Amino acid sequence: MSSLPETALAIADAVRSGAISARAVAERTLARIEAKNPELNAFVTVAKEELLAGADAVDAKRARGEPLGLLAGVPVALKDALCTRNLRTTCGSKMLGAYVPPYDATVVTRLRAADALVPGKTNMDEFAMGSSNESSAFGPAKNPHDPSRIPGGSSGGSAVAVAAGLAPVALGSDTGGSIRQPAALTGTVGVKPTYGRVSRFGLVAFASSLDQIGPFATDVRSAARVLAVIAGPDPRDATSAAAEVPEFEAACGRSVSGLRLGVPDEYFAEGLDPAVEASVRAAILRLEEDGCTVKRVSLPHTRHAVATYYVLATAEASSNLARFDGVRYGLRVGGESRGTGTASALRAMYGATRDAGFGAEVKRRILLGTFVLSAGYYDAYYAKAQKVRALVRRDFDRTFAEVDAIVCPTSPTPAFRLGEKTADPLAMYLSDVYTLPASLAGLPAASVPCEPVTFAGAAGALPVGLQIIAPAFREDTVLSLAAAAYPS
Render pLDDT for 375-415 as a digit per residue (tens, 0 to 9): 999 999 999 999 999 999 999 999 999 999 999 999 999 99
Instruction: Work out the pLDDT band at 430, boundaries 50, 70, 90.
Output: confident
Q: Residue 486: which of 271, 221, 226 has the closest Cα? A: 221
| pLDDT confidence band for 343 (50 / 70 / 90) | confident
Average the pLDDT over 28-37 and give the result: 98
Residue 44: pLDDT band with limits 50, 70, 90: very high
For the stretch 194-206, pLDDT in tens is 999 999 999 999 9
Give me the torsion for CA of 351, 353, 355, 361, rounded to 10°.
-120
- Mean pLDDT computed over 251-267: 97
* Average pLDDT estimate for 211-225: 98
Whether residue 136 contacts residue 92, with contact meaning beta carbons closer than 8 Å, is answered with yes
Work out the average pLDDT over 313-321: 96
Task: State which amino acid sits at residue 445.
Answer: A
Give the SS3 label for residue 453.
Answer: strand
Strands (DSSP E) contained in 8-87 are 43-46, 76-79
Is residue 457 pLDDT above 80, yes or no? no
Burial pattern 193-216, b for ≥16 Cβ within 10 A else e, equals bbbbbbbbbbbbbbbebbbbbbbb
Residue 433 falls in which region: left (phi positive, over 0), alpha (psi -120 to 50) or beta: alpha
State the pLDDT at residue 1: 45
Q: How much is the pLDDT for 334?
A: 84
Mean pLDDT of 118-135: 97
pLDDT at 345: 87
User: What is the rounded CA–CA span in Å between residue 189 and residue 478?
Assistant: 12
- Which run of H or E residues covers position 356? helix 343-357
3 state SS of 464: coil
Distance between alpha carbon 156 and the CA centroid of its chain, in Å? Answer: 8
Average pLDDT on 311-317 reads: 97
Give catalytic residue positions.
79, 154, 178
Q: Is 472 left (phi over 0), alpha (psi -120 to 50) or beta?
A: beta
147 contact partners, CB below 8 Å, separation of at least 6:
39, 40
- What 8-state DSSP symbol labels residue 208? T
Which of 42-56, 262-276, 349-363, 452-466 is predicted least confidently? Answer: 452-466
The phi and psi torsions of 207 (rounded to 5 degrees) equal -130, 105
Amino acid type, 447: S
Average of pLDDT values for 158-169? Answer: 98
Residues of the chain above pLDDT 90, percent: 91
User: Which residues are CB-neighbours of 326 under 8 A, at least 6 positions away?
Assistant: 332, 333, 335, 349, 350, 352, 353, 354, 357
Half-sphere exposure of residue 73: CA atoms within 13 angstroms, side-chain side:
32
Local structure of 217: helix, strand or coil? strand
* Dihedral class, residue 6 (left if φ above 0, else alpha if ψ from -120 to 50, else beta): alpha
Contacts with 93 (C-beta within 8 Å, 6 or more apart), sequence order: 126, 127, 137, 357, 358, 359, 362
pLDDT given at position 340: 53
The per-residue DSSP string of 110-137 comes to HHHHTT-B--EEE--SGGG--SSSTT-T
Interval 252-273 mean pLDDT:
96
Rounded Cα distance between 384 and 464, Å, is 34
Question: Which residues lie closer than 8 Å to 328 by C-beta, 6 or more apart?
Answer: none
CB neighbours (10 Å) of residue 329? 15
If you average pLDDT over residues 278-302, what whole number do you get?
98
Amino acid 132: pLDDT: 97
| pLDDT at 337 exceeding the cut of 80 | no
Mean pLDDT estimate for the chain? 95
**369 and 205 Cβ atoms separated by less than 8 Å:** no
Confidence of residue 362 (pLDDT cuts 50, 70, 90): very high
- 61, 71 contact by CB (below 8 A): no
The per-residue b/e assignment along 31-45, b for 16 or more CB within 10 angstroms, e otherwise, is ebbeebbeebbbbbb
Cα–Cα distance for residue pair 78/82, rounded to 1 Å: 7
Domain 1-301+406-488, CATH class in plain words: alpha beta
When pLDDT is averaged across residues 6-19 and rounded to a whole number, the result is: 96
Judge whether residue 162 has pLDDT over 80.
yes
Note the pTM of the prediction, 2 decimals. 0.95
* Nearest to 33, CA basis, from 149, 152, 121: 121
Is pLDDT of 2 > 70? no
Domain coordinates of the chain in residue numbers?
1-301+406-488
